[in-house]
A = this chain, B = another copy of it.
Amino acid sequence: MESDLNQSNTWYRIKDLAIIHKKPTPIQVVSVSYPKRSAAKITEAYYNIPSTTDYCGVYKGSYIDFEAKETQSTTRFDFSLLHPHQYKHLNQVLNHGGIAFLIVRFTRLKLDYFINMVHIIEFRSNSTRASLPLEWIKTYGLAIGFHYKAPCDYLKVLNQMMTKETL
């Protein structure tokens, strides 16, 4: 998933369509050694829980922010896969006029979906369910296609969504 998205983002930059990058993984460095004549070497560090999402950037002047998740499930997307920090962050992005969404890969079904956070927030305000049913995702999400240079070609559906919204 990450590799497909990195490849897609690189392709979008090469074609000058959008400037979207993966953020580095947050790591807390505890100790570093400085060997002579070579680069600083980190000898003790730990993975931190991310405070935001993995991807952000700019497309047609809009702030774009999203998180990508994979699931083995064939029937639903569990909210437990999304950190509460990430959910809050995506909500804040929407409130400030950015575009926020999730990309969910159903690995067993070989399906990728683009889900606008607007719909997810609406869903959660009307339901206490701990997951999004696949049937709901098929209705409110957009299926992401494949381009040989962009294996997860989400920009195409993002563009559809943005065009539809401004009609």
Contact = CB atoms under 8 A, between A and B. Distances in A.
Interface residues of A, number: 40
Contacts of A11: none
Interface string A70-99: 000000000000000000010011011110
A19 B58 contact: no
A39 B43 contact: no
Nearest to A100: B58
Interface in A116-139: none
Given A27-B29, A63-B98, 13 more contacts: A16-B95, A18-B96, A19-B92, A21-B51, A24-B26, A25-B27, A27-B42, A42-B45, A43-B44, A58-B63, A58-B65, A58-B97, A60-B96
